[in-house]
Amino acid sequence: MRPRSKNLIKIIGVMAIGIIIVFCVNGRYNDNISKVLKDIENNNYVIKDKVLDFLGINIYNPTSILEKEISFIAMDGDIEAKKEAAWELNPFVMNEASINKESLENKDDVNTELKKNLDKSKPEVLIYHSHNQESYGDEAYSRDNSKNIVSVGNELAKNLEENYGISVIHDKTIHDELRSNAYTKSGETLDKYLSKYKDFKIIIDIHRDSGPSKASTTTKVNGEDVAKFMLVISKRRPNINKNMKLVNELINISNKLYPGFCSGTFTYGHGINGFNQDKNSNLLLVEVGTEKNTSKEAQLTGKYIARILAESINKKK
């Protein structure tokens, strides 16, 4: 280190000590001042250590630090002051009544009160994919249904049926052999099911987004990294008001259960084929994460969306 640097450190050190002297009104620090200044003059200093010494704190003696915060730990001093300080402590005691056993036992975040008997003859939810090969991680597009968007549908369907007794049709028909024609093909699949079952409580076309950073599309739910979801809306259609009532209900449930999990809505004037949303008022286009998320993060999203849908479908009247 060059002499000029040493002089600069001296100046900074003296200024630091000077500031401390100005702001300290407790007389017990005065005895340390002359010693600190003398050490600085003789170059026998480390600024951090001298400042701590001035304050009466020895980092190699943890008790000295505690003494500054809890006066009755000190080895000497006013006995009455120690007793008064002791009364200020409010130790936290855990007892059985303090433990939320439901949260500990319910680590999968399943509301068992919402579960009903599964009736496969009356499907309530239809899941399909206009863009089947949208995938995650290293493969942005894949036909592997254990990695692509279909895997999210699998997780959603599994949780709806096993945990909530909600019957699901999960259609895995490939609609994006020609991506520009995907919504036309998926619209034909949707028409087939509407013709047979007339209606569903909820219909979901599951996609993933592309472009946004992973940080903006990932959150933690119950300590797990999960992909956020977003609802895409085609605005110019006759059934928009009824559809938005369902959209807003699900967003409100999500915000209550898992704040930050839902990224809200993204609205188009019409979109490609109106995303088929004009065909049914209960149809949702859900985007789960981006290509930067992992398949596991996206699949976990399916688990938590199941809870949100169950809150809507199985809610007590």
For residue range 212-263, what is the model confidence (pLDDT) as tens digits? 999 999 999 999 999 999 999 999 999 999 999 999 999 999 999 999 999 9
pTM exceeds cut of 0.75:
no
Quick: pLDDT tens for 41-71.
444 445 545 455 544 555 444 444 444 343 3
Give the whole-angstrom CA distance, residue 174 versus residue 183: 11
274 within 8 A of 234, measured Cβ to Cβ: yes
What pLDDT, on the 0 to 100 scale, is given for residue 316? Answer: 62
Mean pLDDT for 78-102 is 39
**Strand pairing class (168-170; 125-128):** parallel
Domains, the chain, with CATH or none: 3-87 (no CATH), 122-313 (3.40.630.40)
Q: Sorting pLDDT into bands at 50, 70 and 90, what band is 10?
A: low
Quick: pLDDT tens for 162-180.
999 999 999 999 999 999 9
Mean pLDDT in the chain?
Answer: 79
